[in-house]
Amino acid sequence: MRTSPVWSPEQYGTYADERGRPFADLVGRIHADNVKTVVDLGCGPGALTATLREAWPTATIVGLDSSPQMIEAAAQYADDHLSFGLADVREWSAPEGSLDVIVTNATLQWIPDHLDLLPGFVKALRPGGWLAIQIPGNGNAPSHAILRELAAKDPYAEFARERSLRPDVPGPADYVDVLSAEGCAVDAWETTYFHLLQGDNAVLEWVKGTGARPVLQSLPDELRKDFEAEYGARLAEAYPQRDYGTLLPFRRIFAVARKL
């Protein structure tokens, strides 16, 4: 039994266009000028971080992630202005007033009470700097509800139940409250994307790269195959494949703050 998930850049890259759209929508709301320093917290395999060079071509951009596999994959995008390194978001800090932009995309949802980290992020920004956050808000979707239900059943529960549980995530208003109290002008919103996925049992392939991966990896080999088969069958029923593809509704929560 593994004690922590080993993330797969290849599996995560399945449906990369759909996963990338919220990142682009998030960055599109950052109206920063004279950007010199950017940090992407939870950069994953680096492809989205690399797109930040288009927005700020002369800035020094650093992507950080706690997964060695993700950082190894991200290294292919490194250049004179873009670098990557290992770091745990919960322990990360930067000198006060040293950064122009902090982006954290689809990362903070894994961290309980992550609102407590935000004052430190704001402190790291210079006056006029920007903090941009996006997290999934689909914890009650069938993809997650079915996962929790199966993980709580024998013979899986001994290994998988704890790994199926996720922290409650804040809503847009929570981000407004916390970041406003830190002296920021805040723009927060939520969006439900209706992703049209191609391929067989597409939602299973989607979640195997993200939310379901810690659960699947917690199971011994002899149980993992049975769990995945049952989980996949139930997902195929909840998200039926049509002639045009499989529709996956996916709620996401955004907050963009400018330090005053």
134-173: per-residue pLDDT in tens?
A: 999 999 999 999 999 999 999 999 999 999 988 999 999 9
Q: Which domain holds residue 150?
A: 9-259
CATH number at 149 reads 3.40.50.150
**Residue 118 within a domain:** yes
**Residue 3 within a domain:** no
**Residue 1 within a domain:** no
**Residue 182 within a domain:** yes
* Structural domain total, the chain: 1
pLDDT tens readout for residues 87-132: 999 999 999 999 999 999 999 999 999 999 999 999 999 999 999 9
Three-state SS string over 15-68 comes to CHHHHHHHHHHHHCCCCCCCCCEEEEECCCCCHHHHCHHHHCCCCEEEEEECCH
**Residue 50 within a domain:** yes
